[in-house]
A = this chain, B = another copy of it.
Amino acid sequence: MRVSTPDPESNGGWLSGEDLDYVRRRVPILYVEAIPVRLAPSGELEHIGLLLQANEDGVMTRAFVSGRVNYGESLRDTLNRHLEKDLGPMALPQLPACLTPVTVAEYSPIPGARLVDERQHAVSLVYVVPVSGECDPCENALEVSWLTPGEALDPDLLEELEGGRARILKTVIGQLSAWP
């Protein structure tokens, strides 16, 4: 029996691979996604942090901080856990006081959907998280790239965001009044 799971450190949310496969075919899976940002002292958006990582086919892609909400885990703990896993322990993220997300993203396993996640039907709560410390990606990510809104909207870069997430990035840049 295979017992790997994406979050082995978290006992409460522990699921064997078979369990997770089983659940994924029966209910939508809840995720959080966090877009790390560097803000000016005035609060203005300066840089957006995108993870650079290889996907399952070995292709380099851009990604947000992202992960599943475990059974029994609060949204705040989930955000904290994934921010630490993806940005390292010294990133000093400022979690939002209000848990209303910037946007809600619905991923479908069906090819051609607006947002696609081949593994599952997932619903993701998307947050913007100001980060003031040093980022040191721990797991899959090779690095965190810090991009101005103009750089992040470069068409080549937008294509490196998988599953239609370019739409989410554009939504967030709009919400932060940062269209160049």
Give A contacts to B, CB under 8 Å: 15, 19, 22-23, 25-30, 37, 39, 41-45, 68-77, 79-80, 94-104, 106, 108, 114, 121, 123, 125, 128, 130, 166-167, 170-177, 179
Question: Smallest CB–CB gap between A16 and chain B, Å?
Answer: 10
Contact partners of A72 in chain B: CB under 8 A: 28, 108, 121
Instruction: Say yes or no: A103 contacts B179, CB within 8 Å.
Output: no
Instruction: Say yes or no: A97 contacts B171, CB within 8 Å.
Output: no
Instruction: Say yes or no: B97 contacts A100, CB within 8 Å.
Output: no
A126, closest chain B residue (CB): B100
New contact pairs (12) apart from A28-B30, A103-B174, CB-CB < 8 Å = A39-B94, A43-B79, A43-B94, A97-B128, A98-B102, A98-B128, A100-B102, A103-B175, A104-B125, A104-B177, A170-B179, A171-B179
Instruction: Say yes or no: B95 contacts A42, CB within 8 Å.
Output: yes
Instruction: Say yes or no: A176 contacts B97, CB within 8 Å.
Output: yes
Instruction: Say yes or no: A76 contacts B121, CB within 8 Å.
Output: no
Contact partners of A114 in chain B: CB under 8 A: 177
Contact partners of A44 in chain B: CB under 8 A: 76, 97
